[in-house]
């Protein structure tokens, strides 16, 4: 190993986090989801705060959004897949292209603002496995008893995610489950914190919902 590579690995953060905040927001009427406020706070600000609480305040975060979300602090990187609206896998690829090295990559979605609280448990599960490339939440269905894998609440080994992206080749409009299809997975039973709030009615359960003035998809 070269000295430069060794220094890079020592200085690399343990976690790098990707927040998927783009998409067309069709189930929310084309609204920029991260800019919706619940009880006076934007979803993007809530999830960033929860990432810092879960993994530490120096954790590097990259937000994937087609136009960029205003008002974020300079240390928060913002990227977009090209062309825009190319799907979550293309967004993950665009974010990973910003990462030179690392140990783990955490993936979450802005409409699941409390999912970062599961990152420590997912990390412990991944570290305890001798074979897993990714630890991912699998929420039990109360009716069927079967588990529903949530690929947007996951901790990946850095090199494993890079490899899976490279193996896919074309990332545009790929289903996010394509990343997991051949990956060795460790499944973590969800506890409700992984819930994604897909609609404005869902969000209203959390409190008063205020819509942003900006619509990026009409």
**For residue 12, what pLDDT is reported?**
62
In a domain, 217, yes or no: no
CATH number at residue 74: 3.90.550.10
Query: What total number of domains does the chain contain?
Result: 1
Segment 94-115 mean pLDDT: 94
In a domain, 90, yes or no: yes
Q: Which pair of tokens denotes residue 179?
A: 């990343």
pLDDT band for position 44 (cuts 50, 70, 90): very high
In a domain, 164, yes or no: yes
**For residue 214, what pLDDT is reported?**
46
In a domain, 160, yes or no: yes
216 or 170: whose pLDDT is higher?
170
As a three-state string, the secondary structure of the chain is CCHHHHHHHHHCCCEEEEEECCCCCHHHCCECHHHCEECCEEHHHHHHHHHHHHHCCCCCEEEECCCCCCCCCCCCEEECCCCCCCCHHHHHHHHHCCCCCCCEEEEEECCCCCHHHHHHHHHHHHHHCCCCCEEEEEEECCCCCCEEEEEEEEEEEHHHHHHHHHHHCCCCCCCCHHHHCCCCEEEEECCCCCCCCCCHHHHHCCCCEECCCCECCC
Looking at 30-34, 49-53, 126-130, which range is the least confident one?
A: 30-34
In a domain, 216, yes or no: no
Domain span at 55:
3-210
Mean pLDDT, rounded, of the chain = 88
**For residue 142, what pLDDT is reported?**
74
**For residue 27, what pLDDT is reported?**
66
In a domain, 121, yes or no: yes
In a domain, 104, yes or no: yes
Give pLDDT tens digits for 74-84.
999 999 998 88
pTM of the model: 0.89
**For residue 60, what pLDDT is reported?**
95
**For residue 2, what pLDDT is reported?**
44
**For residue 24, what pLDDT is reported?**
66
Give pLDDT tens digits for 173-195.
999 999 999 999 999 998 999 99
Segment 56-81 mean pLDDT: 95
Q: Has residue 146 got a pLDDT over 50?
A: yes
**For residue 145, what pLDDT is reported?**
72
In a domain, 157, yes or no: yes
**For residue 22, what pLDDT is reported?**
83
């Amino acid at each position: 190993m070269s000295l430069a590579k060794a220094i890079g690995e020592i200085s690399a953060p343990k976690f790098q986090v990707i927040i998927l905040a783009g998409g067309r927001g069709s189930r929310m009427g084309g609204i920029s989801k991260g800019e919706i406020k619940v009880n006076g706070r934007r979803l993007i600000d809530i999830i960033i705060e929860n990432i810092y609480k879960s993994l530490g305040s120096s954790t590097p975060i990259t937000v994937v959004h087609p136009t960029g979300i205003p008002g974020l602090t300079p240390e928060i990187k913002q990227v977009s897949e090209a062309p825009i609206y190319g799907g979550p896998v293309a967004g993950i690829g665009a974010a990973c292209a910003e990462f030179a090295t690392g140990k783990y990559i955490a993936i979450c979605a802005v409409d699941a603002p409390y999912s970062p609280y599961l990152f420590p448990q997912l990390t412990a599960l991944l570290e305890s496995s001798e074979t897993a490339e990714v630890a991912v939440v699998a929420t039990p269905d109360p009716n069927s008893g079967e588990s529903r894998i949530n690929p947007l609440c996951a901790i990946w080994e850095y090199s494993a995610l890079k490899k899976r992206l490279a193996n896919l080749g074309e990332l545009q409009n790929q289903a996010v489950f394509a990343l997991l299809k051949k990956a060795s997975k460790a499944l973590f039973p969800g506890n409700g914190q992984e819930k994604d709030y897909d609609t404005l009615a869902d969000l209203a359960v959390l409190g008063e919902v205020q819509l942003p003035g900006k619509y990026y998809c009409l």
